[in-house]
């Protein structure tokens, strides 16, 4: 589970203890003066075993600095300082003019999925891999067809401002997001190294399926955004083409053949440029199967089957292009065309959020409301950083259950329990609905707010269809 944490900076001579601020755990690091006792020391043997940690550097929209120049400055800054690494932002050093003028934020990403060391890595264990990027503010570019009708796809230049922070906001069981990232890394590596597809076959197609509102479309967009940042040295330009399969097959049925041809002509043009990384997102892919079935039953024009087949053939053709990843989603797993399912390398089921995920989703929403001052009476600084699910469980197991924060988190856990069966989409709306239901929203303590959230969750659940 991704959890935002703070980076703790220490002078090497003073390394005594690092505090995992969020979890409230003490991680002991023995200092250099602490003679005799086991001391973690950088050793040359370790350089081989260093853990690669992604450090993402977002440039200001106004920045005109070169990517290499900024990357070099950040690498130097990381070398110079003795940082321990944990997920979250690192302050931009005030004495580095280049960074101050050009960098919006520096962030360490996804350590908790890699490490067993209380989610914190010591600076000498780490090989930071710095990715510098600037967000595109252009927004989606919707292509119009010759007759002025909107076409069935949107195009985005990545990384896009609209998708900033989306990856971090999506919360799933540990491993899912990493699995997708690693899959894409392997797929791009195999292609790059020219692995013979007759000997090892891979299609660069991902299928996410599961109930509505579980974040499948958002996860595809967020994955494309992440990959565009992580692979920017190899592919300096990235685009996302978002296709709604349903509209492709139903809007102007007789036009569908032309729409598919136009769509793929566009994609082929993009992939011809070998420095482009192209993501094609096909939403509601089950409509392929629906179109084929309707054609067979005679209720749709018979050429619909030709359109479906054309789409599958075009997708096969894209197999030869190393720089395309096809991301697809479906709400109805059983209805997906078997010919399509077979082509997907990763078929990941995205289910409703587990208790831990529900707790983390509500925790991040609650923290945002506290940060923005919507939930008041929060003078205790501890309240600003609520413990994660894992550290709450640890605290409860150790019998630490008497502090105000733990009390609040127990209530939060109660709210997460009350939300069983709700989708991620409903959970993200819940704090808003709870706030709107408060009789006196001006003087709302976190505990009162959580009570309102439990009531709202119960009401929402009672309104779910059986
Ligand atoms: N696991 C999750 N963690 C955090 N937020 C989530 C999660 N799942 C869903 N959401 C929230 O729900 C919103 C809607 O998700 P999205 O539209 O991507 O879901 P979907 O599965 O594609 O739905 P549909 O199948 O109905 O199109 C997301 O933008 C996000 O705010």
Query: Are residues 373 and 443 located together in one domain of the fold?
Result: yes
C-alpha distances in Å from residue 188, one per residue of 15, 65, 259, 282:
40, 28, 28, 20
Centre of ligand 1 to C-alpha 216, Å, is 6
- Ligand 1: atom nearest CA of 172 is 1
Do 344 and 372 sit in the same domain of this protein? no
Q: Domain boundary residue among 291, 317, 349? A: 349
Same domain, 368 and 435: yes
Mutation test of ligand 1: which of 218, 327, 354, 429 has the most ligand atoms closer than 8 Å to its C-beta? 218
ipTM of predicted assembly, 2 dp: 0.98
Q: Of all atoms in ligand 1, which is nearest to the CA of residue 169?
A: 4
Judge if 246 and 334 occupy the same domain: yes
Q: Which tokens go with 347?
A: 């078929």
- Which of the listed residues 349, 377, 405 is the one where a domain comes to its end? 349
One domain for residues 191 and 318: yes
Identify whether 37 is part of a domain: no
β-partners of residue 27 are: 18
Boundary (domain end) residue, out of 349, 368, 397: 349
Q: Are 224 and 242 in contact (CB under 8 A)?
A: no
Query: Do 375 and 283 share a structural domain?
Result: no
**Domain identity same for 86 and 213:** no
In this structure, the answer to whether residues 159 and 299 fall within a common structural domain is: yes
CB 364 within 8 A of CB 431: no
Ligand 1 atom at shortest distance from the alpha carbon of 218:
18
**CATH number, position 278:** 3.40.50.300
Residue 175 has which token pair? 């491993």
Q: How far is the CA of 424 from the centre of ligand 1 (A)?
A: 6
Per-residue b or e along 371-401, where b marks 16 or more CB atoms closer than 10 Å to that residue's CB:
eeeebeebeeeebebbbbbbbbeebeeeeee
Using CA atoms, how far apart are residues 247 and 288, in angstroms rounded to an integer? Answer: 11
Cα 5 to ligand 1 centre (Å): 23
Number of independent structural domains in the chain: 3
Q: Is 402 found in the same domain as 300?
A: no
Atom of ligand 1 nearest to the CA of 221: 18
Q: Which domain holds residue 344?
A: 153-349
How far apart, in whole angstroms, are the C-alpha atoms of residue 112 and residue 121?
10
User: Dihedrals φ, ψ of 146, to 5°?
Assistant: -55, -35
Residues 264 and 153 sit within 8 Å (Cβ to Cβ): no
- Any bridge partners for residue 105, and if so which? 58
User: Ligand 1 — pocket residues by CB below 6 A?
Assistant: 169-172, 212-218, 329, 331, 353, 357, 361, 424-425, 428
Contacts of 463 (CB under 8 A, 6+ apart): none
Query: What is the residue-level pLDDT of the chain in tens, covering all 466 positions?
Result: 444 333 333 333 333 333 333 333 333 332 333 333 333 444 444 455 777 888 999 999 999 999 999 999 999 988 877 667 777 888 898 989 999 999 999 998 865 544 455 556 667 677 888 999 999 988 787 665 555 555 667 889 999 999 999 999 999 987 889 889 888 888 888 877 888 878 887 878 899 999 999 999 999 999 999 999 999 988 999 999 998 777 676 555 566 677 777 788 888 889 999 899 999 998 888 777 666 666 666 655 556 677 777 777 888 888 778 899 999 998 876 666 677 777 788 888 999 999 999 999 999 999 899 888 888 755 555 445 788 888 888 888 887 766 778 888 889 999 999 999 899 999 999 999 999 988 887 778 888 899 999 999 998 888 777 6
């Amino acid at each position: 589970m991704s959890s935002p944490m703070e980076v703790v900076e220490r002078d090497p001579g003073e390394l005594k203890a690092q505090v995992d601020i969020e979890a409230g755990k003490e991680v002991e690091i023995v200092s250099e003066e602490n003679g005799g006792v086991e001391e973690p020391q950088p050793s040359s043997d370790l350089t081989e075993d260093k853990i690669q940690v992604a450090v993402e550097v977002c440039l200001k929209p106004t920045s005109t600095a070169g990517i290499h120049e900024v990357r070099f400055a950040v690498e130097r800054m990381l070398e110079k300082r003795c940082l321990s690494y944990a997920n979250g932002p690192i302050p931009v050093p005030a004495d580095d003019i280049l960074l101050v003028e050009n960098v919006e934020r520096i962030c360490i990403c996804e350590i908790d999925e890699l490490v067993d060391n209380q989610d914190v890595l010591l600076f000498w264990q780490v090989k930071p891999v710095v990715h510098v990027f600037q967000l595109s503010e252009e927004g989606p570019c919707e292509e119009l067809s010759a007759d002025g009708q909107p076409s069935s796809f949107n195009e985005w230049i990545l990384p896009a401002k609209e998708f900033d922070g989306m990856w971090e906001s999506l919360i799933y069981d540990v491993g899912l997001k990493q699995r997708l990232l690693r899959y894409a890394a392997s797929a791009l590596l195999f292609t790059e190294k020219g692995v013979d597809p007759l000997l090892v076959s891979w299609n660069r197609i991902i299928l996410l399926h599961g109930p509505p509102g579980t974040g499948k479309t958002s996860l595809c967009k967020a994955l494309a955004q992440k990959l565009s940042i992580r692979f920017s040295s190899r592919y300096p330009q990235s685009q996302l083409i978002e296709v709604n399969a349903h509209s492709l097959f139903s809007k102007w049925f007789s036009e569908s053949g032309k729409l598919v041809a136009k769509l793929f002509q566009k994609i082929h043009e993009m992939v011809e440029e070998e420095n482009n990384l192209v993501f094609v997102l096909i939403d509601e892919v089950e409509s392929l199967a629906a179109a084929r079935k309707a054609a067979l039953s005679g209720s749709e024009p018979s050429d619909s089957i030709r359109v479906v087949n054309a789409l599958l053939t075009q997708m096969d053709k894209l197999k030869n292009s190393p720089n395309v990843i096809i991301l697809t989603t479906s709400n109805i797993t059983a209805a997906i065309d078997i010919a399509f399912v077979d082509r997907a390398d990763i078929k990941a089921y995205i289910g409703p959020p587990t208790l831990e995920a529900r707790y983390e989703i509500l925790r991040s929403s609650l923290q945002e409301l506290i940060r923005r001052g919507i939930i008041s009476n929060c003078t205790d600084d501890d309240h600003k950083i609520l413990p994660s699910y894992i550290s709450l469980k640890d605290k409860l197991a150790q019998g630490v259950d008497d502090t105000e924060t733990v009390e609040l988190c127990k209530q939060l856990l109660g709210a997460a329990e009350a939300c069983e069966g709700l989708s991620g989409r409903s959970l993200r709306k819940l704090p808003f609905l709870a706030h709107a239901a408060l009789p006196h929203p001006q003087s709302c303590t976190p505990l009162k707010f959580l009570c309102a959230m439990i009531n709202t969750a119960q009401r929402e659940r009672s309104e779910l269809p059986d």
